[in-house]
Chains A and B, each alone.
Chain A
Amino acid sequence: MSDPAISARDVAKVYRRFQQRHQFKTLKSALLTGSLLSDLTPDETFTALDGVTFDVPRGATFGVIGENGSGKSTLLKLVAGIARPTRGSLRVDGRVSALIELGAGFHPEISGRENVIINGVMLGLSRREVEERFAEIVAFSELEEFIDAPVKTYSSGMYMRLGFAVAIHVEPDVLLIDEVLAVGDEAFTRKCLDKIAEFRRRGRTILFVTHSLGHVEKMCDDVLWLRHGRVSGRGDPKRVIDAYLTYVAGGEDALLRSRQLQAAAEAAPASSPGDEPRAAGGYRPGRWGGREVEITAVRLLDARGRERHVFVPGETLTLALSVSAREPVDDFVFGLGLFAADGTSVYGTNTDLEDFAPRRLEGTGEVRVVLDDLRLVEGSYFVDVAVHRRDGTPYDYHRGLYSIRVKSRLKDVGLYRPAHRWEFAGGVLVDTPRPRPELDLRDEPAD
């Protein structure tokens, strides 16, 4: 019993890329030289997995996370036996059923009933076994009325439901799940999760690949994080998921930063003195104004004064504006606007509204707005900054050239998260949730 259900040692998978033109070349040369087999050499290779080592103990639920293209699905295919590792060894003990593509192999022209039988046989059951489980499979899929109709008449949801129902009733020792919980409606997803939980209770081994970190955290005993085909983390789900999220946030940070530079570069030459704001309704990034006073740089800073673009709710965000005046002016207002990704205004204010009286602006200087306790829900937000006359004539208006992303462990909705708490009294009993601290992004290096 101590033998692991899945054991991978230094597994690597190298995909070979054949190009279309190359194929013609090989056929011609193959026909000329008569060496069909030896000419099947690839042009270039792509390493999907490299040096992956792990054990999955019997009865464990094992999660695999990682970005798109990190090798998760390749790993699953290797475990399923559909592909073979290029190097290393991979051993799987017991019957494997893979929920990789549900309903792969359904034939559109024949009925659901016949497809269930064939699919069951294909997944390794005998005909008798499928027939014994037939009623259960159909009941699980909730397709009793349609089971004799050709599957081409099924909706994609029905198709998936039937596929899931067959695959889950194969009763494997090792169940492989790839991103299939996005099947059908809430109720069906619930049912699938219940069935998977039942599997866990019965001590079956599950290998689970998904982007739904919530499911991974809830169901898995152990998590493997793949990054560019290599193991980047392994162990307790919460710890690995946190490390993964921090990494993803860092990646987004870099992406937002580069997008911002691009937006600024595009906007700058287009602006000319006296440019008017675009028609209301469309929120488009841009820059305009007479530039008597210019905002020469805008930095988004965290509490430690480091530049960042990804924040978590409750953090401090500081907007630092470097300004420079061509000639001394005494009529100036600094403004700030915060917009949701769809252009909805979240908040706007300026120094005039808040009764700061301008006295003099000369040479260069810096203006900072400190937003203590950023109470935004998860999402992307655009930032407007501006300097203009009290009558509204712009000196330098930056619309949507800066953006921040708020990441949160709490999936609440809307834009604004008021400080709040829940209270229950009388006959209302709830379990207090495990506290979910927000991600800690402070240690992210700011390059």
Chain B
Amino acid sequence: MIGQVLTLFRYRALIESLVSRDLKARYRGSFLGFLWSFVNPLLLLLTYTIVFTLILPVGKTPRMEPYYLFFFCGLLPWTWFSSSLAESSSVLIGGANLIKKVLFPAEVLPTVTVLANLVHFLLGLPILLAVLAWEGRLGPTLLLLPLPVLVQLVLTLGCALFLSALTVHFRDIGNILGHVLQLWFFATPVLYDIEILEGTLRQILRLNPMGHVVLAYQQILFHGHFDHWRGLGAALVAGLVALGVGAFVFDRLRDTFAEGV
């Protein structure tokens, strides 16, 4: 795993080029171009606001007001996580041309996917911060923001390596993943407050590392105080385990990629 991280570091120039290519290519040819990076989270925010304040106004506690801002704090990082996984599952198959014809470590491809989505997340962040400032909720805890970002990066990268390698041989993953991510989304306290849950259900949901990451975001950005150290630490451990397993599986299957894709 450490060897692979070092490899990725050696290929940082390539990763950097590919991330910027990814970003340039994504909106090339569309009317709004790069503005989509800002418009997308705004539209997402609008959709969820309509659904959960007008259509389904349930299960809210005073701790979650203003609600639209509450879930925006969790939704933005969740989008980074879920799009990274959804895209990385097909990234090796989509990059078949490269894997078969060019010599470079294949880890680069899922890494680029995760990092490109990180950039999208970072581009959406100013909008969130602007709204927070407008609501007067911008506090000194903001300085802790890099912590959950880092934990999430490790976790996402691990899952992405794992998924991208397995999807080469089990194409079914591409189909099932959307549903898994949907379920995972609802198992993560983005739209609701974890405090309203009780008993076994809450215990089960506490096993979700993304839940702790999202809680950390909510505390840091929305509530303005941070005491979820243990949860975030546990998420970091889970992330490192995911990275280790992902790197191991990826390495084991590496030689089969050129034939499998």
Contacts and interface: CB of A to CB of B under 8 A. Distances in A.
Contacts of B256: 16, 40
B97 interface: yes
A81 B258 CA distance: 11
A27 B175 CA distance: 13
A118 interface: yes
A91 to B, nearest CB: 15
A121 B21 contact: no
A105 B14 contact: no
A101 B177 CA distance: 32
Interface in A114-149: 114, 117-118, 121-124, 126-127
B9 to A, nearest CB: 14
Interface stretch (A18-26, A314-322, A364-372, A392-400): A18-26
B260 interface: yes
Interface in A80-130: 80-84, 96, 98, 100-101, 104-105, 107, 109-110, 114, 117-118, 121-124, 126-127
Interface in A28-66: 30, 36-37, 40
Interface in B10-58: 13-14, 17-18, 21, 24-25, 28-29
Interface stretch (B69-77, B98-106, B149-157, B208-216): B98-106
A250 interface: no
B161 interface: no
B134 interface: no
Given A80-B103, A82-B100, A23 B255 contact: no
Nearest to B26: A109
Contacts of B60: none
A110 B13 contact: no
A105 to B, nearest CB: 5
B258 A36 contact: no
A109 B28 contact: yes
A15 interface: yes
A98 B102 CA distance: 8
Chief secondary structure at chain B's binding surface = helix
A150 interface: yes
Interface in B74-118: 97-104
A282 B102 CA distance: 49
Contacts of A101: 97, 100-101
Contacts of B202: none
A37 B250 CA distance: 11
Nearest to A150: B28
Contact of B25 (A26, A27, A109): A109
B229 interface: no
Nearest to B11: A121
Given A23-B172, A109-B24, 10 more contacts: A30-B170, A82-B99, A82-B100, A83-B259, A104-B101, A107-B21, A114-B21, A118-B14, A123-B102, A124-B103
Interface of A: 15-16, 18, 23-24, 26-27, 30, 36-37, 40, 77, 80-84, 96, 98, 100-101, 104-105, 107, 109-110, 114, 117-118, 121-124, 126-127, 150
28 contacts: A18-B260, A23-B169, A23-B170, A27-B170, A40-B253, A77-B100, A82-B99, A82-B100, A82-B258, A83-B258, A98-B103, A101-B100, A104-B97, A104-B101, A105-B98, A107-B21, A110-B21, A110-B24, A110-B25, A114-B21, A114-B24, A118-B18, A118-B21, A122-B17, A122-B98, A124-B103, A127-B13, A127-B17
Q: Ordered nearest first, which 5 A-B pairs have the shortest CB separation?
A: A104-B101, A101-B101, A109-B25, A109-B28, A118-B17
